[in-house]
Chain A
Amino acid sequence: MYLKLFTMTLVFAAMGLCLLHLRQSRVRLAHEMVLTHIRIDESRHALWRYQTALAQRLTPATLRASVEHAGLTLESVTPGTGDVMQHRNNGGSGGVAQSSATTKTTVLAHLD
C-alpha cells in the first residue's frame, strides 16, 4: 500500500518536473526568438549602413579620385575613341575649357 502510494507520488512528481522542464524550454525558445528578432533588426540596420557606405564610395568624383590615387590609366572600350580622346586631352579642338574629369583620364570606361 505504502509502496503504491510512494510510487504514485513519485509519478506525479516526475510528471510535474517534466511539465516544468517543458515550460522552461518554451520560455527559453521564446527568449531566443526575441534575441533572433533583435539580431535580424540589427542586421537590417547594418545592411542599410553598408549600402549607404557603398553608395558614397561609388560617386563619379570618388571613383575618379581612387583611379588617380592608384595611378591607373583608363582606356576606352569603344573602338576608335582612344586616339581622339588623347588628342582632346592634349588640348585639341576648341570650345569650353575641359574639366578635370576629361583631362586627367583618357576617357571614361564603361562603369556599369
Chain B
Amino acid sequence: MFQQADARRRPVVIAWTAAVIMTLVFAGLIGRVWQLQARPQTSITQLAGSQSSIASLFGRRGTIYSRDGRALAVTKVVKRLFVDPMLIDDPNTFSERLGYGLGYDPVHMEQVISRRFDSRYVVIDSWLSDERDARLRAMPRLPGLATQRRLARLYPHGNLAGQVLGVVGVDRRGLEGLELTLNSQLSPAGGRIAYLRDARRRPLWATDNQHQPPRDGQDVRLSIDVTIQHIAEQQLAVTCQRYKASHGNMIAINPRTGEILAMANYPPFDPNKLAGSNADLRRNRCVTDVFEPGSTFKPFVWAAATQAGVVHLDEMIDCTTSGAYRLPFGRVLHDAHANGLQTWDGVLIKSSNIGMGQVGLRLGPRRMHDAVRRFGFGVVGGNEFPGEAVGIVHPVRRWSKYTITSVPMGQEIAVTAMQLTRAFCVFANGGVLLRPTIFAVDGDAPGERVIGGQTADVTRYVLRRVVSEGTGRRANSKMYDLFGKTGTAQVPDRVHGGYEADQYVASFLAGAPYDRPRIVIGCFIHRPDKQIGYYGGIVAAPPVRQVVEQVLPYLGVTPNAPHDDDPRPVQLVSH
C-alpha cells in the first residue's frame, strides 16, 4: 500500500522539482540581465565603451544668394587627405605609390612626411579634388593613408562681388564683408550621434539620448544682381586698366527701393584665394574709403540753395570773364574755364566754382551744414557693411569763410562712394533719401524727405543738361536719357597738407532714364594717369554710359525714340 502511494506521489514531486529548478534558472537569468543593464562590471563597461563612438553631424553655413537666386557663397563637404606615418608599412615606396597613384610630386610627398615623421597626422592635401578622390577609391589601400571630411566655403563666381561677400576663416567664422556682418545669421549648429559599433567598426545602432540633429544656418538673399554686378565690374576694370588708375569703385542703386544692385571694386578680390591676399585688397572701398568729392558734390548744395530760395533759376550769376573771382574776404575762386555771366542752372551745367561759391555765401554755414547732413553725409547709411566710414563733415562751429565757399565745390568734406551714390538717388525719386540696403526687398521703401519734389525735378532737369550740353557729354547716350554730374577732385596730401600734385579722383554720378529713373550709378576712378586722362567727364562718364546701355535693356526698359530734350519744369515753390 505504501509502495502504491509512493508511485502516485512521484510525478508530483518530479513536477514540483522541475518547476522549482526552472523558476530558479529563470530568476537567475532575469537577475543577470538586470545586473548587466543596471550595474555592469567595469570590464564589460570598458568593452562596451570601446564599441561606441560619437560621430559629428555637419550643419551647413547659410548660403548667400544674389537677387536673381544664384548662389554667391555656398558650403560643401570636402575631404582632407592625411597620413599617419606610424602606420606606413613600407616607408621606402610609400611616397612613390602615393605620388604616382594620385598625381602628386613624390619628392614633395617624401619631404612633407619626413619633416613630421613623429606625428600621427600629416596633411597631404587639405582639399582633395573629386578626380583624386575617385583615383584614391580605385587604387589599392595604402596603410597609413586616410581621408577626413570637413566643411569648406566656396564662392562659385570667383572675384564677383568678392569684397562685398568677404571671407570666412579656418574656424568657419566670418572675417570680412557680409560673412562677418551676418555671421550669427549664417552660422550653423553642428549635431552629433553616438553609435554602437561591431567588431569591424560598422555602426549597429544609435545610442538612446545621444542624437542631436544639426541645424543649418539661415540663407540670405542679397539685392546684388549677378548680371548687373558683372557688367559693372567689367566696365570698371576696363576703365581702370586703360587709365592706369590705382583703384576704382562703381555702385548701382535702385532709387526707388534703395537696393544695391551692384557694388564693384577694382582691383577685384577672389575670396577663394584668401591665402596671400592683403587687407587693402579685401577691403570694400565703396564704404570704407573717404575722399573729397569735388564737383560731384555741387548738385546737393545747388538743390539746397534752390530749395531755400536764396537764388532763382533765371538769376544771372557773374562767373567772370577771367575765370577768377576774389571774394570779399580775400579768397580767390577759380574756374577751369572763364564762364562769364551764367544763369543759376548754367552754373551747375558749366560746373562753375565761382558761381557755387557766391551762392554758398548766401546760403550760409548753418543752412548748408544742415542740408549736407540731411543728404546723408557725415552719417553712416546703414550698418550692413563692416568698417563703413562716416566721412568728414566738420561741425558748423568750426566752419570758416573758406569752408562756406569750399564745401559747395566738394572740398573740406570727405565722403564715401556709397554716400554720394545714395544721396544722388534723391534727384531720381522726387526728393527722398532712402536707406541703402544690400538685401533684396519687395516694393518701394520708405525714406526721409530731404528736398521738395519740384526741387528734385528741377535739379534732375539741370543734371540732364549737364549730360546733354555740359561736362558730361561723353555720357550722352542715343538709347537712354541720362542725367548726371562729373567731378575731378584733387587728392589731399595727408603728410604735407594741401593737395598731391597731379593726383585726382575722376568721378561721375548719373541716373537713367530721365523721365522715370530705374537706376543710379556712381563711378569713381582714383589716381588715373594724368598723361592719359583725369577729368571725370572723360574717364568716369563713358563707363557709366556703357553700364546704363547694357543694364537698362536687361531690366526691360525700352530705349527712347528720337526726341528733343524735355521742357524745363516751369513752377518752383520753395518749401
Chain A residues within 8 Å of B, Cβ to Cβ: 1-2, 4-5, 9, 12, 27, 30-31, 33-35, 37-38, 41, 44-45, 48-49, 51-52, 54-56, 58-60, 76-81, 84-85, 88, 93-99, 101-102, 107-108, 110-112
Contacts and interface: CB of A to CB of B under 8 A. Distances in A.
B58 interface: yes
A98 B18 CA distance: 102
B205 A48 contact: no
Interface in B535-575: 542-543, 545-546, 549-550, 552-554, 556-559, 561
B341 interface: no
B268 to A, nearest CB: 13
A84 B77 contact: no
Contact of B156 (A56, A99, A107): A56
B12 interface: yes
A92 to B, nearest CB: 8
Given A1-B15, A97-B242, A111-B68, A48 B206 contact: no
A97 B239 CA distance: 9
Contact of A96 (B60, B239, B478, B561): B239
B478 A84 contact: yes
A34 B203 contact: yes
Given A30-B206, A60-B227, A96-B542, A45 B76 contact: yes
Contacts of B478: 84, 93
B443 interface: no
B559 A99 contact: no
Contacts, number: 140
Interface string B384-404: 000000000000000000000
Interface stretch (B228-236, B289-297, B310-318): B228-236
B479 A81 contact: yes
B549 A55 contact: no
Contact of B545 (A55, A84, A85, A95): A95
Given A99-B235, A101-B234, A52 B553 contact: no
Given A2-B11, A37-B206, A51 B242 contact: no
Nearest to A83: B559
Contacts of A88: 549
Interface string B57-92: 110100100001111101111000000000000000
Given A48-B76, A78-B553, A101-B231, A55 B156 contact: yes
A1 B11 CA distance: 7
B395 to A, nearest CB: 41
Nearest to A97: B238
Contacts of A96: 235, 238-239, 242, 542-543, 546
Q: Which 9 A-B pairs have the closest CB atoms?
A: A30-B205, A95-B542, A55-B156, A112-B68, A55-B71, A60-B230, A48-B76, A56-B156, A81-B553
Nearest to A16: B26
8 contacts: A45-B58, A52-B156, A55-B70, A58-B156, A60-B157, A96-B238, A99-B238, A102-B546
B380 interface: no
B63 A108 contact: no
A98 B546 contact: yes
B205 A5 contact: no
Given A41-B57, A95-B545, A108-B553, 5 more contacts: A31-B203, A76-B553, A79-B558, A97-B242, A111-B226
Contacts of B553: 76, 78, 81, 85, 107-108
Nearest to A38: B203
Contacts of B149: 45
Contact of A112 (B69, B75, B157, B557): B69
A31 B157 CA distance: 42
Given A27-B205, A55-B74, A59-B156, A108 B554 contact: yes
Which of B71, B156, B235, B479 has the most C-beta atoms of chain A within 10 angstroms of its own C-beta?
B156
Given A96-B238, A111-B68, A59 B542 contact: no
Contacts of A49: 76-77
A48 B238 contact: no
A100 to B, nearest CB: 9
Nearest to B211: A37
Contacts of A102: 546, 550
Interface in B135-178: 149, 154, 156-158, 160
Contacts of B60: 44, 48
Nearest to B154: A52
Nearest to B229: A60
Interface string B217-250: 0000000001100110011001100100000000
Interface string B10-37: 0110010010001000000000000000
Nearest to A58: B70
Interface string B506-529: 000000000000000000000000
Contacts of A56: 156
A80 B77 contact: no
B556 A34 contact: no
